[in-house]
Amino acid sequence: MIRWLFKTHVYLGTALALPLMIIAATGILLGFYDELRYAESPYRLNRAVEAGLPPAVLEQRIAADYPDYRLEVLYLPTAPERAARAKLVGPDRRLAFIHPGTGQTLAMRDAAEQDGLDFLYALHRGKPLGLTGQILASAAGVLVPILWGVGLLLRQRRPTYRTGRWDSLTIRGLHRGLGLIVGGFLAVLAVMGSLLNFAGPLKQWLDPPPRLAGSEPTVTTKTLARHVSSATSAYPAAPLERIYFPADGSTPWQFRFRDGGWAYLDAGGRVLKIATPFSHWTHLLYPFHSGRLWGTYGPKFTALFGMVLLGLSGSGLYLYCRRRRANERSTQDGQFGARRGIFKW
């Protein structure tokens, strides 16, 4: 049984090493997403705006500048030095960067255009390979708890070591120690990340937003101001981060908050539903996995676990290569039977 567990841990860990290292490396960088994203224009303003325009006034300025487009999502600035953004739908799809103090357009780009950070985020999820890549990335995350569980079982019996293998012993000790101490929490993060890859369909299936029956709503400055007031009063736990405008009469107004909470309102401003990160486990996926649930320094704290995953994957791959080379030398020397590489069982 021990040998079977050992082989399972080694071969499964080796097969997952490269994808897990990619996921871990990109996850470490994404722990500093805000610092990277808002490091320069058009996301970052030349001069900070302490008191910006209300969302209703921003919407009015955007509608005046782009009469042929419908405002789909309004991203509000979450810090004084950050620009607001508007996702527009019309003859094409555009992303406009709006000055929060004046409502003027700072820059415009195709909504489908990706920069380096967008690609990094897509790579973390496996999206460059399409749906197949997303499934493979999610499968790698789901298998992390199995690796951790098999590793715990192997801890019940410690192998002996050859003398003169100080470097391998140290790396293996680090590998075992990291897995034992933080492997459980890392496994939870990995599973949540795997589910987060398909959070949209999961929410639509398990906890869908309310549906309405009515005519297409008319958006006015007074309407939006009333809706924002109702939403923020119903969910005072965190600042408002973005507003999803209804596309038709069957879609409610959707307000997303900084901690991952949601508020759903009908056309008259009545609160239909409030979803906190703890109302349903699908709403907890992003705040927990990203670390935003723990506040400002949560993403940096989560990035540390990305470093642990990178260390476990790299050290495990190194130990596998060392053991393989040792076995090859043993075979060449005519030493068959009991394996006398790094481990002796």
Residue 157 has a pLDDT of 64
Backbone angles phi, psi at 275, to 5 degrees: -120, 115
Closest CA to 85 of 103, 67, 64: 103
- The three-state secondary structure class of 274 is strand
Predicted confidence (pLDDT) at residue 128 exceeds the cutoff of 90: yes
pTM: 0.84
Contact 10, 281 (CB under 8 A): no
Predicted confidence (pLDDT) at residue 40 exceeds the cutoff of 70: yes
Instruction: Spell out a b/e string for 50-84, using b for 16 or more CB atoms within 10 Å of the CB, else e.
Output: eebbbbbebbbbbbeebeebebbbbbbbeeeebbb
Contact 256, 262 (CB under 8 A): yes
End-to-end CA distance of the chain: 12
Q: pLDDT of 160-195, one tens digit each?
A: 444 444 444 588 888 888 888 888 999 999 999 999
Would you place residue 342 in the very low, low, confident or very high pLDDT band (cuts 50, 70, 90)? very low
Predicted confidence (pLDDT) at residue 298 exceeds the cutoff of 70: yes
Residue 250 has a pLDDT of 86
Closest CA to 55 of 224, 233, 262, 266: 224
Question: Mean pLDDT for the chain?
Answer: 88
Would you place residue 345 in the very low, low, confident or very high pLDDT band (cuts 50, 70, 90)? very low
